Every structure is written in C-alpha cells, then in structure tokens.
Amino acid sequence: MATLCRPEVAVPEYIVTREDTLRLAERLHAGKPQLNLALRLITNTGVQKRHIVQPLERTLEHPGFETRNRIYEREAKRRVPPVVRQALAHAELTARDIDAIIFVSCTGFMMPSMTAYLVNSMGFRHDTRQIPMAQLGCAAGAAAISRAHDFCEAHPGANVLIAACEFCSLCYQPTDDDIGSLLSDGLFGDAVGAVVVRGSGGTGIRLERNAAYLIPDTEEWISYAVKNTGFHFQLDKRVPGTMKPLAPVLRQLVARHGWNVGNLDFYIIHAGGPRILNDLCRFLEVPQEAFRYSRATLTEYGNIASVVVLDSLGRMFAENQVSEGAKGLIAGFGPGITAEMAVGSWVTGRGQTRDSARSAAVA
C-alpha cells in the first residue's frame, strides 16, 4: 500500500505578528463601522504570527495583477525546489524515482504549470505525469494526498511527489473592507511544502481509504471574485458552521473502515480557524488536545491554505510519539464547500529505491 512519508515545509523570512495586524487594521480602516468586529475576530483567530514573501509595506501596495503574478512565479521557482529536495530525502528516493507530480496552489497562476519547471530543472524523468490542481483552495492539500493514493493504487509500486505553494499575501486587496476580507487579512499566511507518497516501503502513514464530499448549494460560501486587480477572496459568514454537516461524513468514512472516529490515535486536520477546530472536536467527541498539530500550525503560521495538512503532518513526525499500527484521519476543507478525507495507519518501513523494489518483486 501507498505510504505518506515525512513532509518538508518552509515559510518566508518576513513576519507579521498579530499586534502588527491589529495596528494596521486600525490605521487602514479607521472609522469603518465593521472595524471593531473585525478586530475582535482577528484577535480570536489565535494566530500569533504569519510569514509573507515580501516586506509588509510592499505587501500593502498593489502594483497590479500582472506584477503580483510575476512575483508569485519568481518566488515559487525559488522556494519550492528546496522543500522538494528535502521531501525526497525524507522518503529516501531521488527525482528519478518519481512517477507523478501533483502541484497545488490557489494564490497564483502559471502555464505551463510549476510541474513542468520542476521536471526540467530538478532531474525528474521526462515521462513523469503532471497533475496540477488549482481551484480546491484549502482542501487541496488533503485532496492531493488522496489523488496520490489513487495513483499508487492504479499503478502499483509508483511514487508520487506532492508540492504545495501558497502566497496568500499576494492576494491582499487594499480596497476590500468587508468583514470576510478583514478577517482573511489577519488569518492567512504564506508557505511552501512537499511530501512523497511511496508505492512501497517508507515510514509514515499507510493510506488505506479516502473520500470526498461537497455540501450541496454552497459554491458561493468560499470563492474568488476574479477582477482586473486579481483574486478577491470572498467568505460567507455561514462557513464557520460547516463542521456540523461535515462531521457525520468524517464519522461515516472512518466507520466504513471499521474504526471509531472518536477513538483514533492521530488527527491531521486543516486549520481553517479556531471555531472550525473546536466545533469538529465537539461533533466528533474528541478532546481539544487531539488537534494539537493543527492548532500549532494555526498559531505559528496562520491559515497557510493547502500547506496546512503538510505542516500539521510534519509536526506529528517531529513529535516522534506515533506507534506502529496507530490509526488516524487526515481531512481538509475548502471551496465547494468541499471536504477531502483519508484514513491510514502508521508504518515503519525501510527505504527502498525503485530498483531495489523491483528486484524484491522479481525475487
């Protein structure tokens, strides 16, 4: 079965603290009737700091969508390859061992995709499958894990690289001052990440089952308005309540696998915000501590969109407290409203290159 290995995540060097955000909101939106509510919501996110790809004053400028997208491409090409190299090392594989690359991002646009750049610049085989995913938002990290699992099931022994790149700060819109926009200005951060799903061997989560679910008639609850100035994030006030209909879906997935969702050993959950995490804990009947990896990501980096599940997973690896056979759940939520989910067990396996795996199969 496919194994989700240790990820690598990196954040940019420029830091915005919660205090910075509150001061900026007060300065830039002074006198607006929604300001006090926005300040309370930003304070209640639990985000202590975020990382961004440009200095704060430059981020606050809007040089135009074309310039911003050039910055996105430049920074992606600079920052993604190092995490890819480290993710390959964690998986004890080389670029030549990879059969497919899934690239996820919702904060910039490139065509050809970043996958083509990685193939041409990092030594991947030129028959590597390219699977770019651009419109699942925060759900894309979990979706990529599930699609990698599907690929490995369809192609036994194959290995899949997942790379995620989110520069949410490049979507900042100075003129947007509705509550959803002001909250997002204090919630989202920038990050890149990568992880390998091995078709055989490796240490990590053995992926065993996945599923997806879309809440009917909620397409407009999380969305982009695409304008001359770029992507304008739109967030409906009903989004925080979506864990009530989604919790039963998670419960059913785990039950179909013969497990109890309230009695798993680990949970890797997208950290969209504290209410999302608190509500899901309550509906699944698990203690708040169960989501500690996701809470740490939210506190230290903010909502880093598709990279959240990779960072939360990396924190679990770093804690080094998971036992062989431990059972767990991975879940991400995003536009749609979409839930992407997977369940799996912890395995400790020795590294195998493609050649050694094939030799073992022949023997």
pLDDT digit string (tens) for the chain, length 363 residues: 899 999 999 999 999 999 998 988 888 888 788 888 888 888 888 899 999 999 999 999 899 999 999 999 999 999 999 999 999 999 999 999 999 999 999 999 999 999 999 999 999 999 999 999 999 999 999 999 999 999 999 999 999 999 999 999 999 998 888 887 888 888 899 999 999 999 999 999 999 999 999 999 999 998 889 999 999 988 888 988 899 999 999 999 999 999 999 999 999 999 788 889 999 999 999 999 999 999 999 999 999 999 999 999 999 999 999 999 999 999 999 999 999 999 999 999 854 444 444 333 322
Predicted confidence at residue 350, as pLDDT, reads: 58
Q: According to the model, what pLDDT value does residue 181 have?
A: 80
Q: Quote the pLDDT of residue 111.
A: 95
Q: How many CB atoms lie within 10 A of CB 163?
A: 28
Contact 101, 118 (CB under 8 A): yes
Instruction: Domain ranges for the chain, please list them.
Output: 1-363
Show the tokens assigned to 99.
Answer: 């059969």
Closest CA to 295 of 319, 312, 314: 312
Catalytically active residues are: 138
Assign domain 1-363 to its CATH superfamily. Thiolase/Chalcone synthase (3.40.47.10)
Pure H helices in the chain: 18-28, 35-44, 56-60, 65-90, 114-122, 140-154, 179-185, 243-256, 274-284, 292-301, 308-319, 354-362
Tell me what pLDDT residue 9 has.
Answer: 98
pLDDT at 116: 98
Ramachandran angles phi, psi of 326, nearest 5°: -60, 140
